[in-house]
Structure 1
């Protein structure tokens, strides 16, 4: 396993870390599916243990993943390993309970205490604002940021993070939240975060801010693992059930695009895992990736992609093929 420092945070994390959304299981928010089906807690725990054995030291979760279930599964794992051997991150912002907004300061404190209880620890290494929704006219923004800094002073949070879903949102809230780590969606399909006018990688490097990239495998779409003639069916509470990318037409289109990449970099699933993960890692030395998992086999596959960087020409080839 290779390790990277997340910018000025000073946190040294495995370049391939783990996202723990899927092990939270099915869940809903405002009637919409926002979880994952097909999880099994024993397999989830086996995956976490295997990750630790392989040198993966950074585990990312959130209060909303299975409404605390992901955190509780990780809590069982933390009973088995030295706390200082792992970097644990969680988030607040999508689950508002009875608060008017999930970023109301007293709610942030409550959610942190519940997260710490779920995890069985007395501090988080990274605590993220999970989004940039701080209420109408950002009414809770300044007070939420102040609450985070207070929790940091109390020793319950080591590093403050900010997650968001647009460049404009990051630029709006980061001057107030002053995060040392950003988390955002990125993979080889590309998005606004690598465009000239909205290049978040460049901005973060200028600020010496660490980056944690989720979705590097595009929820399996970059691995050519789904049969277009028999598109996958997802259970209740699974966010993928409403994703049109799993349609026959889109799966066929992706398969055609992946063919020249398979011819150049290898046609096995593991070759595509390596290509996808290393493409994302090539964007910045201050970045790590957090692919998801449900079992030890997937953890091993993710970890096997570490330490095998693409050449500049290979990364450019992938970009040209997928977006050309």
Structure 2
């Protein structure tokens, strides 16, 4: 495992880490603590030391599994969680300091921890980024010893750029992959300038970039890849990076032609992301331990050549850019 600094948190964290959206089972399935423990142990055994969760994953069960696990290991494991998505309706007006404080305290209780290494606002509406009182709350929580750092998880580059104007924001979690390239422009430049840790989520475009899906692939009823392709439940950019499924498949076929000997394109996709020095870590998910191993194996994949990167970017320009670049 290789490690990078997570911005001004000062944490040295694994280049490949673990996102726990589906760690207790495939999306929509009943949460399995046994499965979660297997995945978490596999991750740390492979050198991963950063785990990202949220209070809404498994309705709090993911936080409980992560907290129990961290206390069972002797290694220093950095834990990030998120707050805000419990709000219903999830609107700007619902974001209030007292409510967010309660969410943080509930996360601490779920995980059985005294302090959170990193708490992130969980993709709040854009208007929230223009409200200083929301960000000031986390200074007080830090003074009280309840958190060490504040981060933001965003949908849009605009939100990332506004969020890092607040001095107490230390990290930004954002969707970035070869099918979602806009963050590599102005945002990465500003993140490096302000020493912001960049946590990349949805690195495989919900599995599309593994190259394992086809027109015949099916997804269970509770899987967001089945019910959220047009943003029916939350921002459609979280599902296949907001790309029309058929268009994505066509682009993936061209990627396969670039790497004809690569049955699984995941290492290629992850290696492309790690080529950006603004990136601190990537947090692919896993619903079984073998997926953790496959993700970590990307670190042993040969560096991509300048020609391969250029051709991958050309596929984005041809198939994807005009459809998504301006949206997020």
TM-score, shorter chain, exceeding 0.5: yes
Match among 68, 76, 87 for residue 96 of structure 1:
87
- Structure 1 window deviating more from structure 2 (84-93 vs 174-183): it is 174-183
Sort the Cα spacing of 1:286 and 1:224 in 2 relative to 1 into closer, same or farther, 3 A. Answer: closer
Q: CA deviation at 1:42?
A: 1.7
State the Cα distance separating 1:259 from its structure 2 match: 2.3
* C-alpha contact 1:188 1:319 (8 A) present in aligned 2: yes
Who is 1:268 aligned against? 263
Counterpart in the other structure of 1:186:
176
Aligned position for 1:48: 40
Closer/same/farther in 2, CA of residues 134 and 315 from structure 1, 3 Å limit: closer
Moved more, 40-49 or 109-118: 40-49
Aligned residues of 1:231 and 1:247 also touching (Cα < 8 A): no
How many residue pairs match? The answer is 304
3-state SS, counterpart of residue 299 of structure 2 = coil
- List aligned pairs for 1:1-324, cutoff 5 A: 1-23=1-23, 36-37=28-29, 40-82=32-74, 85-96=76-87, 101-133=93-125, 138=130, 141-176=131-166, 178-195=168-185, 199-228=186-215, 230-236=216-222, 238-241=223-226, 242-243=228-229, 249-250=246-247, 252-263=249-260, 266-269=261-264, 272-308=265-301, 309-324=303-318
> Quick one: structure 1 residues 286 and 173, their matched pair in 2 at CA, closer, same or farther if it must change by over 3 Å?
closer
Q: Deviations over 1:142-172 (max 9, x none)?
A: 2221110111112221111112111222233
Partners of 2:189 and 2:247 lie apart in 1 by 31
Distance 1:262 1:171, change over 3 A: same
* Structure 1 residue 314 displacement after superposition: 2.9
- Is the CA contact 2:126–2:159 (under 8 Å) kept in the aligned structure 1? no
Inter-partner Cα distance in structure 1 for 2:76 and 2:270: 23
Per-residue CA distance 1:93-113 (angstroms, 9 max, x = gap) = 211269985531111111111
SS at match of 2:296: helix
The higher relative CO (CA closer than 8 Å, separation ≥ 6) is in 1
| Aligned-pair CA distance for 1:288 | 1.0
Shift in CA distance, 304/99, structure 1 to aligned 2, threshold 3 Å: closer
Question: By how many angstroms is 1:24 displaced?
Answer: 5.4
CA contact (8 A) 2:63 2:110 kept: yes
What stretches of structure 2 of length at least 5 have no aligned partner? 231-239, 319-328
Equivalent residues of 2:13, 2:49 under 8 A apart: yes
Query: C-alpha separation between the residues in 2 aligned to 1:115 and 1:233?
Result: 30
TM-score normalised to structure 1 length? 0.85
In structure 1, C-alpha distance between the alignment counterparts of 2:89 and 2:219, rounded to whole Å: 34
Q: TM-score, normalised by structure 2?
A: 0.84
| 8 A Cα contact 2:33 2:65, kept in partner | yes
Match of 2:234 in 1: none
Cα distance in 1 for residues equivalent to 2:190 and 2:280: 13
> Are the counterparts in 2 of residues 14 and 57 from structure 1 also a CA contact under 8 Å?
yes
C-alpha distance after superposition, 1:11-62 (max 9, x if no partner):
1100000111112568xxxxxxxx5447643222101001111100000011
Contact between 1:105 and 1:143, CA under 8 Å: does it hold in 2? yes
Bigger Cα displacement from structure 2, 245-254 vs 178-187: 245-254
CA contact (8 A) 1:145 1:177 kept: no
Distance 1:36 1:312, change over 3 A: farther
Relative to structure 1, the CA distance from residue 278 to residue 156 in structure 2 (aligned partners, 3 Å threshold; closer, same or farther) is same
- Kept after mapping to 1: 8 A contact 2:173/2:200: yes
TM-fit CA distance, 1:77:
1.3
